[in-house]
């Protein structure tokens, strides 16, 4: 099969032929129809993000495809089924504390690296081998729609954070980092889940206006000034009700003070979930006040990715019409133009933009 291969960090992808994956027990082989190219892919491939990804490797994080072959433990999947290839691979020998690797992308800790040795190659190829539970049925699709369904890759992370905080219909959410890819996706998912309102702070007025245009009056944009006291009051005043929960998706370039300011807008007995990149490239610690957390009964949770059963819920939101994938503008590239796709993803990043590889011949 043809694949895009990252030989070493800092080198361009090489398009070449490699052996088809061999099916084992507990696995599924999927023909990749569309694979997302994330906006920061160039930072991963250059080594700037310092991701745990051994080279040479076929990279790629997630895919939409059709089942080619199933193992003996699959009782419902069949050849030809459309599936989302969930890149979040978990070890199976510790249900309480599973190790995790993002197939074709990164890993968490020593256990994740060990898991990565086997589930290593990702979706920038004509087919991919995934654990049986990671081939999640999405129902029948027109092949032309497969690229847009790659939005699941981003939407799932937002959904995972909302599920982790037990977000409920009728609640008010503040999204810290609302003008980024994950933040804007969180706005869409929270509204689909029945949010009373979503407070969207940021400094990019164009994106804030676009969020309001897309989703209507339940989105409450707040233009930040950079003055802490003023911005804190502005966020709380803008909300039509006390802020029940905060989901942080600020990028590694954001200072901890911005995250702290947003988190501390939450009401007493409120919740905050951290899913962004603050501090990953150095800088000050988050340093939330102990007395404020304790006396106000604040719940603070870190969340990486999402629980395994969350994908089915996401598919349900899309199939019901509550979450509209037509918000996403999709640009597609053939596998042979994988390097061009990486450049395009970086230079055309932003909310509701998708760059996709189409490996199928």
Q: pLDDT for 207-226, tens place per residue?
A: 999 999 999 999 999 999 98
Give dist(CA 342, CA 333) in Å, integer. 10
Task: Average the pLDDT over 322-339 and give the result.
Answer: 97
Please check the confidence at residue 236 and state whether its pLDDT lies above 80. Answer: yes
Q: pLDDT for 120-132, tens place per residue?
A: 999 999 999 999 9
If DSSP states are collapsed to H, E and C, what string results for the chain?
Answer: CEEEEECCCCCCCEEEECCCCCCCCCEEEEEEEEEECCCCHHHHHHCCCCCCCCCCECCCCCEEEEEEEECCCCCCCCCCCEEEECCEEECCCCCCCCCEEECCCEECHHHHHHHHCCCCCCCCECEEEEEHHHEEECCCCCHHHHHHHCCHHHHHHHHHHHHHCCCCCCCEEEEECCCCHHHHHHHHHHHHCCCCEEEEEECCHHHHHHHHHHHHHHEEEEECCCCHHHHHHHHHHHCCCCCCEEEECCCCCCCHHHHHHHHCCCCCCCEEEECCCCCECECCCCCCCHHHHHHCCCEEEECCCCCCCHHHHHHHHHHCCCCCHHHCEEEEEEHHHHHHHHHHHHHCCCCCEEEEEECCC
Task: Average the pLDDT over 187-196 and give the result.
Answer: 98
Give dist(CA 41, CA 61) in Å, integer. 10
What percent of the chain has pLDDT above 70?
100
What the block records as the tokens of 12 is 């361009």
Mean pLDDT across the chain, nearest whole number? 95
Residue 112's contacts (CB-CB under 8 Å, 6 or more residues apart) are: 52, 99, 100, 101
Task: Average the pLDDT over 173-181 and give the result.
Answer: 96
Q: At what angle are helices 228-238 and 256-263 packed, to 10 degrees?
A: 40
Task: Average the pLDDT over 73-98 and give the result.
Answer: 95
The answer to whether 32 and 63 are in contact (CB under 8 A) is yes
Domains and CATH numbers, the chain: 2-151+328-358 (3.90.180.10), 156-302 (3.40.50.720)
Instruction: Note the pLDDT of residue 148.
Output: 97
Task: Average the pLDDT over 40-59 and give the result.
Answer: 94
Global pTM?
A: 0.93
Instruction: Note the pLDDT of residue 108.
Output: 87
Q: pLDDT for 3-45, tens place per residue?
A: 999 999 999 999 999 999 999 999 999 999 999 999 999 999 9
Instruction: Note the pLDDT of residue 10.
Output: 96
Give dist(CA 209, CA 324) in Å, integer. 19
Identify which has the larger pLDDT, 252 or 264.
264
End-to-end CA distance of the chain: 10
Instruction: Note the pLDDT of residue 176.
Output: 97
Instruction: Note the pLDDT of residue 361.
Output: 59
Instruction: Note the pLDDT of residue 282.
Output: 81
Instruction: Note the pLDDT of residue 281.
Output: 78
Task: Average the pLDDT over 150-173 and give the result.
Answer: 97
Average the pLDDT over each of 131-135, 153-157, 224-228 and give the range with the smallest value: 224-228
């Amino acid at each position: 099969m043809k694949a895009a291969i990252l030989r070493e960090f800092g080198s361009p992808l090489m398009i070449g032929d490699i052996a088809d994956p061999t099916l084992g027990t507990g696995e599924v082989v999927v023909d990749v129809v569309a694979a997302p190219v994330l906006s920061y892919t160039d930072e991963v491939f250059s080594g700037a993000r310092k991701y745990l990804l051994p080279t040479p490797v076929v990279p790629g994080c997630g895919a939409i495809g059709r089942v080619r072959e199933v193992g003996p433990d699959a009782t419902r999947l069949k050849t030809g089924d459309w599936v989302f290839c969930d890149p979040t691979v978990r070890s199976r020998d510790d249900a309480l504390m599973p190790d995790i690797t993002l197939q074709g992308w990164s890993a968490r800790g020593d256990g994740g690296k060990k898991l990565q040795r086997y589930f290593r190659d990702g979706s920038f190829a004509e087919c991919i081998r995934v654990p049986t539970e990671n081939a999640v049925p999405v129902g029948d699709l027109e092949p032309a729609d497969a690229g847009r369904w790659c939005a699941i890759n981003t939407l799932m992370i937002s959904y995972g954070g909302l599920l982790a905080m037990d977000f409920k219909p009728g609640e008010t959410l503040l999204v810290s980092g609302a003008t980024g890819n994950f933040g804007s996706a969180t706005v869409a998912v929270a509204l689909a889940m029945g949010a009373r309102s979503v407070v969207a702070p940021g400094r990019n007025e164009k994106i804030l206006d676009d969020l309001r245009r897309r989703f209507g009056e339940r989105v409450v944009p707040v233009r930040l000034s950079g003055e802490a006291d003023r911005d804190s009051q502005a966020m709380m005043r803008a909300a039509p009700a006390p802020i029940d929960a905060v989901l942080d998706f600020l990028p590694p370039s954001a200072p901890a003070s911005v995250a702290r300011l947003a988190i501390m807008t939450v009401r007493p007995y409120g919740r905050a979930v951290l899913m962004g990149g603050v501090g990953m490239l150095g800088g000050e610690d988050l340093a939330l006040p102990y007395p404020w957390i304790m006396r106000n009964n604040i719940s603070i949770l870190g969340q990486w990715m999402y629980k395994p059963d969350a994908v089915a819920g996401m598919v349900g939101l899309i199939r019901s019409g509550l979450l509209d994938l037509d918000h996403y503008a999709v640009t597609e590239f053939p596998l042979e133009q994988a390097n061009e796709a990486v450049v395009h993803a970086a230079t055309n990043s932003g909310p509701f933009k998708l760059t996709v590889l189409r490996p199928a011949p």
